[in-house]
Every structure is written in structure tokens, then in C-alpha cells.
């Protein structure tokens, strides 16, 4: 029971923010003056008594007793100030942000993005690109220069100049020097979203308009589109030969790869050859097996060869990549899974992808509309004069905006002032490339506004969504309960050695040994080992001497174990008679076992050392029961039995 997860699900929390209770709802319970509504009790009762949720389903009355105990523990934790502790606040804040996330996304936008990604995954795109780098915070004149430059290159390509040569000569993507801008085939979720959209929205053979990403401006030439190849699982044997290894090393690697290929053709085992010769040590021990992959995840030569293999266990001739020579064996192939299979995975990926900003933007716009967001642009513009280049070195201070108290924007009647923005600028500055002050202030203001809008909406979630409020309280009270139980019960049982000893002395009849057998077992590989072992036993040799002698040729010949065993604890001992001072031989599972029975031990109490774990657990239960008695005397509890009686027993 010493995990937060179990605490959350076993006896869930109820309303802690009483102000959110619906007016007129019947009160089913009052703990130390704090009311619990019927609907709040029903929420946790049904949750813990639903099909599959509860091992032992309880009646409303029985569950109420457990629930009262829970509420009393949490009440005392709050009275002790545990909800104000820094560690608690940090932990709870982390959970709160996680729980709020589903309520701070636009479901319709997210669903459309998931469907769009899946539809795009049905098609692989092969494209080349040319990049002109430009920072997202670049000065307007620099941004314009980059825009003009990419457009000039596009005009030259449209007039017929070779796109690959233009990429090699002019692209600021370093890889273009080697691949002439060719990115090979890729599918959805493999490229940054604006680039992906530019590629998928451009017809084959055409060149896109300039596409802006965080890297700069791109023009994209779509070379081909094809139906998705799905995914493939392969193993490979790699002989390392990097592109700068030199001709002699490359030729030697090729010769080695061809020799291995010849062994395969002569009937050699792929897995064994891989273990012996592959230079990819990360997977050679498991036969060169790689993870599933699809279009755009491997270098083109490797990918093309892998997908060209038709049947399971087919293998390729040696194929050259920038990493060396590979012999590739097909293990399995599969097409694009059904939408339902990928939906959850795509949702996760999109939440971490740049396209998630679209959902965030939709949420921001909804918040602005719902709470009648109103801003005063002139108040922001006054920062153009007080923010200076020190901010790019992390040395700007909010004192520069001293006296600035004007309203920046209003949200739901709550004003946000210039002082708040000045503090935000000071706390979020860092060393960075210089840009225009106006551009910087505008970008930071936008970021500040969005964060304030999200914070405001988070503060309203508990009053807007019952499920969120209940789940949030479940986590809050669960953390408090865990921390309080740790202090009052778990740690106390571990460190209170005097109390533990006293509890053991008064309860030792609960910790009894059954009849036990004190025995030593010599587990022999076969009869010949058993015969030799028995001779040494009769000769008075020690166990260590017998083991050393019998296991000279093989460590599997003999195993020795000894101890005190209860009935049914050891399969071998089920075959022997429990008779003092005997040596017996049994056969089981193809082995011969010599059993020396030293003594048959009568039932009796366990020592504290022998029963430490069981005694500690029982002592924890005792401490908890005593604590609950104390709490029931400390706080007043009133149950409205009439309201409780309206809840049907499952």
C-alpha cells in the first residue's frame, strides 16, 4: 500500500475546494465542519466500485467508513500545514499541469491534425530542397534579404536551371554539398510540419512557393509520390567502411563482405556469421536485428534494398552506404496499420510536434473570446523605449520600467499591468543574438499574453469541469495522505524499534513456524555423479570439498543447497520421508537428489529477526488503527444517513 497510485485508486479523495460545490446539493457527510455533497461521494464511490475497479465491492455504508478514515487523515495533514510545504507544492503543481493539458487543447483541431497525418502517411514523398537560413527573431531587413534570395533561386529553377546544382551551390543546408538537396522518400511526421505541408501540397515535378520554418526559407521540388511501403523489419551484417576511409580500406571491407556473402550462399547461418563478423556491435549479438522502420528513416541505399526483398529470410548482396557494406536479411513486412491502431501514437507525437501550436492558438482565441480579452497596444509600445540591448546579454533589469503601471490588457475583468510584463522580461532574458528591440518586445509580449491566458484558464478549470476538479482533488489529497501515512505509520514502524519489539512480544502467537525440515540437498546431474557424491559424503568430505571435486569438468554436475523448509516449499523434499538423521535419495526431473535430513523441527514461534517483515507490516496496521481511533476522537464527523440510504447497494 506504500505507493501513491494505490492510494489514489483505493480510497479516492473528494472535494477540497468547497466553493465549487453546486448550490442545493444534499450534504452526505461533514468532517470537522467541511461538507461533502452526495454527488462528490458518489463520484469516488462509483469509481472504486465499478466493474474491474474494486476487488472487494462494498456497500455505500461500508465504503463510507473507509471514506471517513481517509478524510480524517487528510484533514489532519492540512491542519499540520503539509499542504503548504514547498515539496508538496512542487509535486502537486506538476500533476496539476499534466491533468490540465487535455482541457487546454482544441479537440477539433487536434483530431483534424491526427486525421491529416494518417492520410498523409498513406503516401511517401520524394523531394529535394534548397534552404536559406534565417532566425525566427532576425531583423526585418535580414528576413527580407533571405526572402528575396530564396525567390531569386526559385526563379532560376523555374527557368530551367538544374535544381540539384542550385542546391549544391547555393543551399545553406550543409548536407546539400553531398546530396544536392535530395532528401529521398519520407512520410508524415518525419519532417517539420510547415516543410511537410509544403511537400505534400506541391504536385510532382513542381517547385513550391518559399516555405518558412524555424531553420529559414525553403523551396521544395517534389520529385515523386508513391503509395506507402509500410514498414519493414530486417537484420544486417555490417562491415564498416566510412566514406573517408580511403580506397584500400574500402576495398578490404568490400572483399570481406563478399566473402561473408559467399558463406551465406554456401549454407552458412546468418545469425552466427553476424555474431562473428558484423561491425555493428550494438545488435550483432542478437543476429543483427534492427527495429521496424519506414520511409525516410534509413539512408536511401539501405532502405531501398531492404524494401526490395520479397520473402522472409531472403537476404541481399552486399550493398554500399556511407557507413560501409551491408548484407540485409528480411525478417518481416507490414503495411500501414489501421487508423485506430495508430491514433493514440499519432496524438502523442502531435502533442510534441510544432503542429500542436495550431491547437494552442485555437485555445488562445477561444479564451480571448470567452473572457472578453481587451488589450491596450500603446501600453506595450512604451517598452520600446525602456528595453535596451542589455537584454540580449541577460543584464536588463525591471528597474528600467520603474513607475510604469498602466494596464496592458484585461481578461475577464482582471487587469494585467506593465509591471507584470517588466518582471516577465527580466526573468526570461538570456544571452542571445541581437535583434530589433521592437521585434523582441513584440515577440516576448505575445509569449507573455499567451502564458497569462493559459494560467487564467487553468484557474477556471475546476469550476468548469467536474471530472477535472475531482481528479485534481484526488491527486492533491492522495499526495497529502501518502506523506502523512509515511510519517505516522510507515517510517514510524521502521524506526520505532522499542515499539516494534513490544508489539512482537504481545503478538508473537501470530508469527508461528509450521513443522519444518532441517535438510541439505545434493542435486546431481545424473546417477554417476550421485554415486561419486554419496561416496564423498560417507567419507566425511565437506560440501565445499565435494562441490570443488564434482564440478571440475562441468559446473552443472552438482548443486548444493541447505536450509529449514516447510511443507510444499521444495519439490524435492515432497519425495522424502521426514525422519531425523537419515540420508535419502530421490529422482526428479531427470536428476538424482541426495537429501540429508538433519532434524524435523516442531512448530514454534518465529524470532523477531525471522518474522521482521511480517511483524513490521502487522505493526503498521496496528499503528494505523490506533491513529484512526485518535482521529475519530479529535474531529467531529456527521453522516446524513437519510441521504446515504438513497444510494443503492451494487
* DSSP characters over 411-469: ETTEEEEHHHHHHHHHHT--------HHHHHHHHHHHHHHHHHHHHHHHHHHHH-HHHH
Average pLDDT value for residue range 478-489 = 93
Angle at alpha carbon of residue 208, lines to 203 and 212, rounded to 5°: 135
Name which of 145-159, 165-179, 240-254, 393-407 the model is least confident about: 240-254
Give the mean pLDDT of the chain. Answer: 91
Q: How confident is the model at residue 242 (pLDDT cuts 50, 70, 90)?
A: confident
Q: How confident is the model at residue 3 (pLDDT cuts 50, 70, 90)?
A: very low
User: Residues with Cβ < 8 Å from 237, sequence gap 6 or more?
Assistant: 257, 260, 270, 273, 274, 277, 278, 280, 288, 326, 327
Q: What does the pLDDT read at residue 216?
A: 96
Residue 141 in this model has a pLDDT that exceeds 50: yes
- Tell me the β-bridge partners of 325: 239, 320
* DSSP characters over 474-511: HHHHHHHHHHHHIIIIIHHHHH-HHHHHHHHHHHGGGS
Measured over the CA atoms of residue 624, residue 625, residue 628 and residue 633, the dihedral's sign is negative
Name which of 43-57, 546-560, 617-631 the model is least confident about: 43-57
Backbone phi, psi, residue 197, to 5°: -65, -40
Average pLDDT value for residue range 486-511 = 91
Sheet containing 34-37: give its strands across. Answer: 34-37, 27-31, 637-639
Which residues of the chain are in CATH 1.10.4030 domains? Answer: 1-79+465-510+607-650
Average pLDDT value for residue range 232-240 = 95
Q: What does the pLDDT read at residue 6?
A: 36
Per-residue model confidence as pLDDT tens digits over 278-309: 999 899 888 999 999 998 889 989 999 999 99
Residue 50 in this model has a pLDDT that exceeds 70: no
Top pLDDT among 209 and 300 is at 209
* DSSP characters over 368-410: HHHTT-EE-HHHHHTHHHH--GGGGGT---GGGGTT---EEEE
Q: What does the pLDDT read at residue 588?
A: 87
Q: What does the pLDDT read at residue 230?
A: 93
Helix and strand totals (H; E) in the chain:
25, 19
Which residues of the chain are in CATH 3.10.50.40 domains? Answer: 123-227, 231-334
CB of 167 closer than 8 Å to CB of 129: yes
Stretch (H or E) spanning 274: helix 270-277
Residue 5 in this model has a pLDDT that exceeds 50: no
Per-residue model confidence as pLDDT tens digits over 262-273: 999 999 999 999
Q: What does the pLDDT read at residue 11?
A: 36
Q: What does the pLDDT read at residue 406?
A: 96
Q: What does the pLDDT read at residue 56?
A: 59
CB of 279 closer than 8 Å to CB of 238: yes
Q: What does the pLDDT read at residue 137?
A: 78
CA 491 to CA 497: how far, in whole Å?
Answer: 11
Residue 136 in this model has a pLDDT that exceeds 90: no
Q: How confident is the model at residue 541 (pLDDT cuts 50, 70, 90)?
A: very high
Please give the CATH architecture assigned to the domain spanning 1-79+465-510+607-650: Orthogonal Bundle (1.10)
Residue 584 in this model has a pLDDT that exceeds 60: yes
Residue 200 in this model has a pLDDT that exceeds 50: yes
Per-residue model confidence as pLDDT tens digits over 412-461: 999 999 999 999 999 999 998 888 899 899 999 999 999 999 999 999 99
Q: Give per-residue burial for 423-433: e unless 16+ CB within 10 Å, then b.
A: ebbbeebeeee
CB of 563 closer than 8 Å to CB of 519: yes
Average pLDDT value for residue range 22-33 = 85
What's the alpha-carbon Rg for the chain, to the nearest Å? 36
Q: What does the pLDDT read at residue 82?
A: 95
Beta pairing class for 637-639 and 27-31: antiparallel
CB of 529 closer than 8 Å to CB of 557: yes
Residue 52 in this model has a pLDDT that exceeds 60: no
Residue 546 in this model has a pLDDT that exceeds 50: yes
The answer regarding whether domain 231-334 maps to CATH 3.10.50.40 reads yes
Q: What does the pLDDT read at residue 589?
A: 79
Q: What does the pLDDT read at residue 252?
A: 86
CA 280 to CA 239: how far, in whole Å?
Answer: 8
CB of 67 closer than 8 Å to CB of 60: no
User: Residues with Cβ < 8 Å from 253, sequence gap 6 or more?
Assistant: 239, 240, 241, 245, 324, 325
Residue 243 in this model has a pLDDT that exceeds 80: no
Q: What does the pLDDT read at residue 51?
A: 53
CA 299 to CA 322: how far, in whole Å?
Answer: 8
Q: What does the pLDDT read at residue 440?
A: 92
Q: What does the pLDDT read at residue 565?
A: 95
Backbone phi, psi, residue 422, to 5°: -60, -45
Stretch (H or E) spanning 563: strand 558-566
Top pLDDT among 10 and 144 is at 144
Q: What does the pLDDT read at residue 23?
A: 55
Sheet containing 591-601: give its strands across. Answer: 558-566, 516-524, 591-601, 582-588
CA-to-CA separations, 528 to 219, 387, 521, 525, 596, in angstroms, rounded:
80, 91, 17, 8, 18
CB of 382 closer than 8 Å to CB of 404: yes
Q: What does the pLDDT read at residue 8?
A: 36
Average pLDDT value for residue range 535-561 = 94
* DSSP characters over 21-36: SPTTPPEEEEETTEEE
CA 244 to CA 301: how far, in whole Å?
Answer: 18
The answer regarding whether domain 123-227 maps to CATH 3.40.50.720 reads no
Q: What does the pLDDT read at residue 1?
A: 38
The residue count of the chain comes to: 650
| In the chain, % of residues over pLDDT 70 | 95
CB of 292 closer than 8 Å to CB of 229: no
The answer regarding whether domain 512-605 maps to CATH 3.40.50 reads no
C-alpha cell at 524: 546431481
Per-residue model confidence as pLDDT tens digits over 329-373: 999 999 999 999 999 999 999 988 889 889 999 999 999 999 999
Name which of 166-170, 432-436, 595-599 the model is least confident about: 432-436
CB of 154 closer than 8 Å to CB of 210: yes
Angle at alpha carbon of residue 89, lines to 66 and 446, rounded to 5°: 130
CA 421 to CA 623: how far, in whole Å?
Answer: 52
CA 549 to CA 546: how far, in whole Å?
Answer: 5
Q: What does the pLDDT read at residue 432?
A: 87
Amino acid at each position: 500500500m506504500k505507493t501513491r497510485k494505490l492510494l489514489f485508486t483505493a480510497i479516492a479523495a473528494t472535494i477540497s475546494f468547497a466553493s465549487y460545490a453546486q448550490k442545493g446539493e444534499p450534504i452526505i457527510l461533514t468532517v470537522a465542519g467541511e461538507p461533502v455533497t452526495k454527488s462528490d461521494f458518489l463520484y469516488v464511490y462509483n469509481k472504486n466500485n465499478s466493474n474491474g475497479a474494486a476487488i472487494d465491492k462494498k456497500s455505500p455504508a461500508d465504503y463510507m467508513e473507509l471514506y471517513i478514515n481517509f478524510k480524517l487523515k487528510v484533514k489532519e495533514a492540512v491542519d499540520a500545514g503539509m499542504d503548504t510545504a514547498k515539496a508538496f507544492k512542487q509535486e502537486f503543481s506538476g500533476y496539476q499541469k499534466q491533468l490540465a493539458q487535455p482541457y487546454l487543447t482544441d479537440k477539433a483541431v487536434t483530431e483534424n491534425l491526427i486525421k491529416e497525418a494518417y492520410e498523409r502517411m498513406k503516401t511517401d514523398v520524394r523531394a529535394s530542397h534548397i534552404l536559406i537560413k534565417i532566425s525566427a527573431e532576425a531583423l526585418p531587413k535580414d528576413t527580407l534579404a533571405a526572402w528575396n534570395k530564396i525567390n531569386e533561386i526559385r526563379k532560376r529553377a523555374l527557368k530551367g536551371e538544374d535544381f540539384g546544382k542550385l542546391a549544391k551551390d547555393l543551399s545553406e543546408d550543409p548536407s546539400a554539398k553531398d546530396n544536392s538537396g535530395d532528401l529521398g522518400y519520407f512520410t508524415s511526421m518525419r519532417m517539420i510540419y510547415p516543410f511537410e505541408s509544403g511537400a505534400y501540397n506541391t504536385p510532382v515535378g513542381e517547385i513550391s512557393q518559399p516555405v518558412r520554418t524555424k531553420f529559414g526559407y525553403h523551396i521544395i521540388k517534389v520529385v515523386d509520390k508513391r503509395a506507402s511501403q509500410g514498414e519493414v523489419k530486417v537484420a544486417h551484417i555490417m562491415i564498416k567502411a566510412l566514406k573517408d576511409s580511403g580506397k584500400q580500406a574500402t576495398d578490404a571491407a568490400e572483399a570481406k563482405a563478399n566473402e561473408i556473402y559467399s558463406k551465406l550462399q554456401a549454407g552458412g547461418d546468418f545469425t552466427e556469421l553476424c555474431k562473428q563478423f558484423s561491425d555493428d556491435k550494438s545488435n550483432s549479438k542478437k543476429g543483427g536485428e534492427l527495429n521496424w522502420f519506414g520511409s525516410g528513416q534509413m539512408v536511401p541505399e539501405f532502405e531501398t534494398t531492404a524494401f526490395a526483398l520479397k520473402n522472409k529470410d531472403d537476404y541481399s548482396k552486399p550493398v554500399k552506404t556511407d557507413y560501409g557494406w551491408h548484407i540485409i536479411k528480411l525478417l518481416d513486412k507490414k503495411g500501414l496499420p489501421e487508423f485506430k491502431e495508430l491514433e493514440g501514437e499519432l496524438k502523442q507525437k502531435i502533442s510534441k510536434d510544432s503542429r500542436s501550436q495550431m491547437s494552442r492558438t485555437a485555445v488562445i482565441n477561444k479564451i480571448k473570446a470567452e473572457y472578453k480579452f481587451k488589450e491596450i497596444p500603446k501600453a506595450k509600445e512604451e517598452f520600446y523605449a525602456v528595453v535596451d540591448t542589455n537584454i540580449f546579454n541577460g543584464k536588463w533589469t525591471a528597474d528600467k520600467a520603474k513607475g510604469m503601471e498602466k494596464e496592458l490588457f484585461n481578461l475577464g475583468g482582471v487587469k494585467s499591468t506593465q509591471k507584470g510584463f517588466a518582471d516577465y522580461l527580466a526573468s526570461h532574458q538570456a544571452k542571445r543574438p541581437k535583434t530589433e528591440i521592437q521585434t523582441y518586445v513584440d515577440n516576448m509580449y505575445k509569449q507573455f499574453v499567451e502564458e497569462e491566458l493559459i494560467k487564467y484558464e487553468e484557474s477556471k478549470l475546476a469550476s468548469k469541469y467536474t471530472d477535472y476538479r475531482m481528479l485534481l482533488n484526488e491527486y492533491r489529497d492522495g499526495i497529502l495522505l501518502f506523506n502523512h501515512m509515511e510519517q505516522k505509520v510507515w517510517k514510524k514502524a521502521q524506526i520505532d524499534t522499542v515499539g516494534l519489539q513490544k508489539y512482537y512480544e504481545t503478538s508473537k502467537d501470530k508469527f508461528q513456524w509450521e513443522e519444518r525440515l532441517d535438510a541439505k540437498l545434493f542435486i546431481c546431474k545424473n546417477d554417476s555423479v550421485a554415486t561419486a557424491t554419496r561416496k564423498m559424503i560417507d567419507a566425511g568430505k565437506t560440501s565445499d570439498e565435494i562441490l570443488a571435486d564434482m564440478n571440475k569438468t562441468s559446473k552443472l554436475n552438482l548443486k548444493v543447497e541447505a536450509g529449514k523448509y516447510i511443507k510444499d516449499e521444495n519439490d524435492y523434499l515432497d519425495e522424502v520421508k521426514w525422519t531425523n538423521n537419515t540420508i535419502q535419495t530421490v529422482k526428479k526431473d531427470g536428476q538424482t537428489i541426495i537429501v540429508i535430513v538433519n532434524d524435523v523441527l516442531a512448530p514454534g514461534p518465529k524470532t523477531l529477526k525471522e518474522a521482521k517483515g511480517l511483524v513490521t507490516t502487522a505493526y503498521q496496521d496496528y499503528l494505523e488503527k490506533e491513529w484512526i481511533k485518535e482521529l475519530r476522537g479529535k474531529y467531529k464527523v456527521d453522516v446524513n444517513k437519510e441521504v446515504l440510504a438513497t444510494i443503492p447497494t451494487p
